Every structure is written in structure tokens, then in C-alpha cells.
Structure 1
Amino acid sequence: MQHAGLQSAGSVPRSRAGAQDSARALRIPFLLRFTITLALASTLMLSRFQLNVGSYFLSVGLIAQYLLVLVLLLLGLARVDPMRMFLFIGCAGVALVSWVVNSEIASSSSVLLIAAAYLVFVFVARSTDRTQYIARWTLGVFLNLMLFCAIAGIAQFFLQFVVKWPWLFNFTDYIPEAFRGGVGYNTVIRVSGHFYKSNGFFFVEPSRFSQVLALALLCELALHPKWRLIRLATLGLAILLSYSGTGLLTLAVGLLFPLGPRTVMRLIIMLLGGAFVFFVLGDALSLSVTAGRAGEFTAVGSSGFARFVAPFLFVRDYIDSTPWSLLIGHGPGSIFKVIAASNVGYEVAGPTWAKLATEYGVLGFAAFTALILYTMLGSRVPLELRVGIIFGWFILWGGVLLAPDVTALFYILVALWPRKQATARGRLTPPVPRDGSATTGRNMTSPERSR
């Protein structure tokens, strides 16, 4: 069955010359492959690096995503989306007004950072067969890089019982100050006083490691119906060794989509596999520590309370503490100043939705929500990955609204790749060879055949 807007086996030229012409037309240029790999590696593995200039900084991931867009524009593979531009102008306009009105506590650096982080979202790849292959190849690069990071995280966890290298869990102090990333992260976290959580060596926190591992697992499951068990097992073990609940929650939410019998069966299999691992390795790896965190939602002062309960209480009580804050907020970068001034008596982690509501009010919340949903839901990448990112961005993950490496990762994986205009449900085709060239002939099937 041929899928609208995608070539099926019957529509591919049968002649060898035609097949070669098709392959050349869809081949990914080396410069673009290099730039995509560099951009993804920067967002995943260089999050502890940034260029510091006085009180301002420039993230490596931020630079990499704009470099990728520049290459796409030079190759004629990207364009400016008018609707995205309109939504971004709305976001920037609210942010600017909120900054001016709340100049006493608002941060100018936050205004600049949020503009730089989200301006790139106005650029989108052109809806062609060629960019469809590029999108699929990009996800393949992401999975390979995350497999490497998972192996590094597993090795890091078990090496701590053998060696006591001071840089094994945090090498930030060895980076020159001019290129050192921000402070304040919980990079080194001890479990039960006996060992440390794995942060994947490269990541700023174990929780961030687990969150991106969850996206990799969702992507792996969605793109490869014939499960690659060794890769899944490696990613799964790494997410367990991070001892972080947010990654597991992101994975659980993503596994619920797309709704249907196949998704239910997949979820049941994953739950049974997780239960098996818990009962077999639970004592050896102290996995009860992760399971026991379910009670944190009602415990004031716990991480779970700070992430999911406290933000709701704070926004409910203080969103309208000034005459204009309900509409335009307390100003960019002001949430923790407002929390400190309010003496609420509990910690607030500041998830994206709460930060938007507090700093930019109802208007800013609506504008940024519209931009995020429009770019994410309009993408051609698997729904599981999109749902995991949307829930992670808004609710589950903390401090990602102004985390350039995270926003760059979301943009490169999802927001850059729109659906084909001829179809609302087009899925990515099977993998392409290592050189980035498209398969032709009988191997170039429709999504229904490939699954």
C-alpha cells in the first residue's frame, strides 16, 4: 500500500540508471553529515562547556544548532516558516514587555538567552524526500551517540568501586574558566551513602542523563520494530544506574503513544522486563532507592515535591502578586527571586510551565506553549519521541526553558523536521546506509511495508 507523499516500491524507477539517479538525488552531503554529528555531539557530550564573556555566556550547543541551520540554508534545504516566525515574535514581544515593566528584578541576560534559544525554531527543513532521509539519518546518529554515552555511564558506575579518580563523576574543575559551564548542578550524588549515581560522565546531572536516555529508548523502540535487544538492554541498564525518576517517568509517558493494541503490548512487555530486572538485580544495584522515591510527592522538602507539587502551590498563590504579573509575569529570570521574597517555606524546582507562568504571565505562557506545540506536533519524527519531549519540557524535567543544550537537542531531533505537506501521518522511512545515501529499488518501501 502506497502512503500519500512517500514513494513505495512500485513507484521507484526500475532501471539501474534511474535507481542511481535517485540515490544521488537523496544522498546526504558530507558537510551536512559532519555538521549534524557535530551538533548532536555538542548538545549531548559538551554540556559542561560554554564560552564565557564577562557576565554573559554562549553555549556550545547553541552555536552548533545555528551552524547546522546555516549549512541547511546554504544547501537550500531549509526555510523560514511564517507561522513559526509569528509565534516567536509573540514570545519575544511578551518577554521584552515583561522585562521593561519588571526592570527592577528582571534579568537582561535571560531576555537575550531566551531569544537566542528559540529564534532558531523559526527555521524548518523543506518538506522533501531528501530531508525525510536526513531526518531519519539524524535520529540514527542520536541513537549511536546515546549508545556510546550509555556505555560510558555504565563503565563510570562500576569503575567507582575500583578506582577513586576525582574526575570520574565531575571533570568541570579541569575545564579552563573561560570555557567552563554554569554551576549549581547536582552532578555528583551519593546513593545510600555507598556509591554514586551514574551521570553518563558527560552530563551535568544523573537526572539529565536519564531523561535523554529515555528519549533514546523511545526513539529506538519506534524506529526498529524488530527490537535490537543488546542496544535496548544497554540503554535500559544505564537509565537504571542513573537512579533518576524523571527519566523513567518520561519513558512511561512516551510508551503510552501512539494509542493502540500494539502500544499496549509493548508497554506490557517493557513493564514485565523492568519487573524482572528489579527482582533479579534489585538488591545488587539497590534499585529499591529509585522505587522508594514514589513517596516523595507528599513529602515537603523532597525532590518529587519540589518538582511536581510545590510549583503548583507557588503559582496558585503568587502569580497575581502584582497588578500586572497575571498577564505578563514578574519578569525574565525572576522566579527564584520571587520565591525567595515570598518566604514560601518549601523548595520549588521551577519546571517549564511554572517558570513561564511566573516570569511571563498568562500571555507568555500561551505564546511559548503555542510555539512549542506547533513545532513539536507538526514534526514527522515518531510520536513517542515527540510526546516524551513535550511532557519532559513542560512538566517532568526541571530548568530546561533556558537550557540551550536541551532546547538545541529538541530542535535538532524534532522541531527541524516538518511533516510532508501531502500527508498528515507520514512516518520516517527505514534507515539509510552509513554514507547517508538513500536505498533504492525494492528496499525503498512504504512505512506500512517497513513495519
Structure 2
Amino acid sequence: MAEKLEFASTQLPPHSHTNYVAVPKADAMGESIRPRPAIRYALVALIVSLVMTDRLGIAVDSLSLGPSLPLTYGLLAVLLMSGWLAIDLPALLVYIGICTVAIASYWLNAFMQNGTPGTMGSMFLLMVIYLPFVFSISAHPNNRGHWLWTMRVLSNTLLVGAAAGIIQFYAQFVIRAPWLFDISVLIPEGIRAQGIYNSTIPVGSFFKANGIFFREPSNFSYMMAFGLVMELAIFKRVKRMFCFGLALILSYSGTGLLALAIGLLLPLRARLLLRIGIAAAVILTANSLTGDPLNLAFTFGRTGEFTAPGSSAYARYVAPMQVVDAFISTKNWSLWVGNGPGLFLRTAAAFEAHDPTWAKLLFEYGLLGFILMLGLVGYKLSAFPAPFQLRAVLFANWLVMGGYLLIPETVCFVYLVLALWPSPPLQSPSRTMAKEKLA
């Protein structure tokens, strides 16, 4: 009797177009394909740090360094010792280009034509935060199963955050203690994240949920939106969708709603739009008939902020355009390599503008830095065949929803979810034919 040969399938399912992740049979039976123990522990530690330790940090110069960035490098060390670390050559070349532009921006603005010097610390921080993008897990037939296991752990951890936010919101009507919305008062100063954050934001007679572990409702809302999009795109567990959706609503933050809209609408499909429209109509009708218990009138009323100078939306999305327009061409080199690392916020204060990634890149590193950095992140997000919705939400949040260029937690989250994972290895035609003949 001819022996039946088995080869690990690494091909994408039919009609995937690299936007769909097939659940392996082992995963479908509830037995996810798991990475090696040491790698699992490193992944879990990083996930917990990204969701649960937003308020922890140690002062390093002007930076409040949380556990996420050291744990990311710790994961790379574990991968190296396990023989699972790979260098992504295209990413390495782009990263070298980014470092070159950053050095040129600092040098030109510090020593040419009496320019305003940038901050060397900001330049080095950029290099350190994005260096992990040069590395990935080695390509392996089980990478897809390992990624799915990682996303399950991430969903479980985010679910804890959702439960904390929901309990926090309703507990405020019974518990009046300040720590309910700002647990930083309970954290020793030596390990407390530094900075000015709006943890306690009123909405009428109550406060927005921030999930206890997160510094601001906007951070909490984004994570809840991402958890909801992840469930919709991969696991489709209705109870979890409800929990993430309720937590998102109770945050009363436009950041999460914008992320959710991107995740739901991209890629655009008529049937999906119809379902979303029906669901929205049902929710809005039920909410209106019951006296607006979700206080959606407040949420929808914030759309006017985009035209109101001084408002949060105006500072995030409109004022940065004014800063870039005013200074992009003030020097011979500023259009190409920018006005110097770390200088955007000094200038933006006069415009009452925040520092979204796209504006900070253009202002500090010019068109060359902007193109190279978008190329690096875009390339890393597109390598692994994950659902398009996850890529779109990660990229949009990093680029336009906040000042995340040099926020280690945000960049490490992007790295963990997709940039860490390589494109699956292609199966050779000879092996594919042998499998089809002998199966």
C-alpha cells in the first residue's frame, strides 16, 4: 500500500486576496496552534503590558518609559535565543533611510544658516522605537496558527479591560472616590507614567469611562473599537462584540468611533453597509424610545468640533494642517528633511494644535522622512495576510488619530498585532502536486 504523504499547507484559501485569515483545523476544534512556551510567555507579557500597564512608567530623561518597549526587545531576545528571529531586508533598508534623513534633519537645522537645532533625544527615540520593525518571527507554516493564538490572548486581555470600563462607569454612581477614574494616585511616583492626561472627563452629571487601566477615555475607546473589529473580522463571538461595543459607547470618545467606522466600512461592500445601516437604525430607535440612556446626543453633538477652534477635534485634525502649511518651506531643506527632530510641539503651541503622526513627520523630517516612514509601516502591515480591517484601523490610528509617532505603547501595539509576523512561506509547486496526487 502506498504510503500517504502529508505536507503542511501554507497556501491561502481560495478567494482570499490576502485579506482573510483561514482558521486552521486545530484552531477550529478549540486547540489553537501555539508558539513555543518561551515565545508564548514573552507574547503574553507584552500583551498584558500594552493593555494593563498604560499608567506605569519610569522617567528616562524627558521620556516616561513604560514596560511595553523593554518587553518588545525582550520578545526579540527570546526569538533570537529560540532560533525564530529573522531580519526583514527590505525593512532594514527603509529603516536605514529613515535614520539617514533623521540625522540630516538634525545636522542641517543645527549647523546651517543658524537654524533652530532639534533635539537629539527625539531623534534617537525614533530610531529605538522603530528598530524592531527590522525583525520578524521566522517564516513558518504554522505562523498563521501562532498569530491566531496571539489574537485570542489579546482579545481575552481586552475583554478584561472592557469589563473594567463597564463596571467603572456604573460604579461611579455608588463610589465617589477619585481613584475610580485615576488610579495613578495609588501608584508610587517612581513607577508612575509622567505627563498631563485627561483621565477624568465629565459628561453632564457623570464621567466618561476610561477602563481604569488606561490614561484617557480616547485610549480606552480605541482599544475597545479594535477588540470589536477583531471579533467581527476573525472570531465572530457575539457576546464579546456586545461587551466591546458597550464599553466603547460608555467611553464617549470620538477616537474609538472613528476607528470602528474605518474597520466597518473598509473594504466597502454594499451588503455590509446595508447591515450596518439596519443595526444603527435599530440602536438609534431603541435609544430614542427609551430616553437616550446611552447619551448619544452628546456624542453626535461633538461633530461640530471640527469647525470650532480650540476644540479637541479641531486641535487634532485641523490646526496641525495650519502648522505644516506655515513652516514646511521656510528653509531650503525643510521641505525635504524637515525643521528638526522634536520641534513640532514647540511651534504647534501657538496654533493650539496637537501633534498627529503625519504632521509631526512632515514638519520634523520633511517629505523624505514622511514617505520612508509610511513606507516602513505600510509594508510591515501588509506582509501578513490578516483581515484588511485590522490593517486599516492600525494604520489610521497611528497616522492621524493622535500624536503616536514617538509613543512606544502605540508603536509596540502595531508591531505585536501585525508587523511582527512575516508573509507565510510559499509552498513549492512540486510538493503541492505530490500532495494532490497522493492524498
Class of the TM-score when normalised by the shorter of the 2 chains: 0.7 to 0.9
Aligned 8 A contact 1:381 1:417 in 2: no
2:196 matches 1:189: no
Paired residue secondary structure (1:371): helix
For 2:65, the aligned partner's letter is L
| Distance change in 2, residues 1:223/1:124 (3 Å) | same
Report the counterpart of residue 440 of structure 1 in structure 2: none
| Distance change in 2, residues 1:378/1:263 (3 Å) | farther
Aligned 8 A contact 2:46 2:71 in 1: yes
Let me know the Cα RMSD of the aligned residues.
Answer: 2.5
Q: Which runs of 5+ in 1 are unaligned?
A: 9-18, 424-451
Aligned 8 A contact 2:384 2:421 in 1: yes
Report the counterpart of residue 323 of structure 2 in structure 1: 314
Segment of structure 1 superposing worse, 105-114 or 330-339: 105-114
Note the C-alpha offset of 1:250.
0.9
| Distance change in 2, residues 1:366/1:171 (3 Å) | same
Distance 2:242 2:282 in 1: 10
2:421 matches 1:417: yes
Aligned 8 A contact 1:239 1:247 in 2: yes
Report the counterpart of residue 449 of structure 1 in structure 2: none
Report the counterpart of residue 83 of structure 1 in structure 2: 90
Aligned 8 A contact 1:106 1:333 in 2: yes
Distance 2:198 2:242 in 1: 26
Aligned 8 A contact 2:211 2:220 in 1: yes
Distance 2:32 2:162 in 1: 35
Distance 1:105 1:274 in 2: 53
> How far does the alpha carbon of each residue in 1:247-295 deviate from its partner, in whole angstroms, 9 at most, with x for none?
1011111112334455335533543454356435662232211111111
Note the C-alpha offset of 1:57.
4.4
2:372 corresponds to which of 356, 367, 372: 367
For CA contacts below 8 A with separation 6 or more, give which structure has more relative contact order: 1
Report the counterpart of residue 398 of structure 1 in structure 2: 402
Q: Which runs of 5+ in 2 are unaligned?
A: 1-6, 14-25, 111-115, 428-439
1:30 corresponds to which of 16, 37, 45: 37
> How far does the alpha carbon of each residue in 1:15-74 deviate from its partner, in whole angstroms, 9 at most, with x for none?
xxxx9xxx9995422222221111011011111112224445433110111111222222
Report the counterpart of residue 164 of structure 1 in structure 2: 176
Paired residue secondary structure (2:293): helix
Aligned 8 A contact 1:61 1:404 in 2: yes
2:104 corresponds to which of 82, 88, 97: 97
How many pairs are equivalent?
A: 401
2:234 matches 1:230: no
2:63 matches 1:67: no
Distance 1:421 1:273 in 2: 45
For 2:182, the aligned partner's letter is N
Show the 5 A alignment for 1:133-172. Answer: 133-172=145-184
Distance 1:360 1:321 in 2: 13
Report the counterpart of residue 4 of structure 2 in structure 1: none
Distance 1:6 1:310 in 2: 47
Note the C-alpha offset of 1:4.
7.3
2:124 matches 1:119: no
Paired residue secondary structure (1:289): helix
Distance 1:231 1:281 in 2: 24
Aligned 8 A contact 1:25 1:130 in 2: no
Distance 1:77 1:331 in 2: 37
Show the 5 A alignment for 1:343-354. Answer: 343=350, 346-354=351-359
Distance 2:380 2:286 in 1: 37
Distance 2:385 2:39 in 1: 19
Aligned 8 A contact 1:53 1:178 in 2: no
Percent identity over the alignment is: 39
For 1:80, the aligned partner's letter is I
Paired residue secondary structure (2:59): strand
Report the counterpart of residue 217 of structure 2 in structure 1: 206
Note the C-alpha offset of 1:369.
0.8
Report the counterpart of residue 333 of structure 2 in structure 1: 324
Paired residue secondary structure (2:86): strand
2:191 corresponds to which of 170, 179, 204: 179
> How far does the alpha carbon of each residue in 1:393-413 deviate from its partner, in whole angstroms, 9 at most, with x for none?
112x21111110111011001
Report the counterpart of residue 436 of structure 1 in structure 2: none
> How far does the alpha carbon of each residue in 1:316-335 deviate from its partner, in whole angstroms, 9 at most, with x for none?
22211233211111111110
2:46 corresponds to which of 5, 14, 39: 39
Distance 1:394 1:232 in 2: 26
Q: State the TM-score, normalizing by the size of structure 1.
A: 0.83
| Distance change in 2, residues 1:248/1:61 (3 Å) | same
| Distance change in 2, residues 1:48/1:65 (3 Å) | same
Note the C-alpha offset of 1:131.
1.9
Report the counterpart of residue 447 of structure 1 in structure 2: none
Q: State the TM-score, normalizing by the size of structure 2.
A: 0.85
2:345 corresponds to which of 313, 331, 336: 336
1:5 corresponds to which of 2, 10, 13: 10
For 2:202, the aligned partner's letter is R
For 2:155, the aligned partner's letter is L
2:393 matches 1:381: no
For 1:77, the aligned partner's letter is W
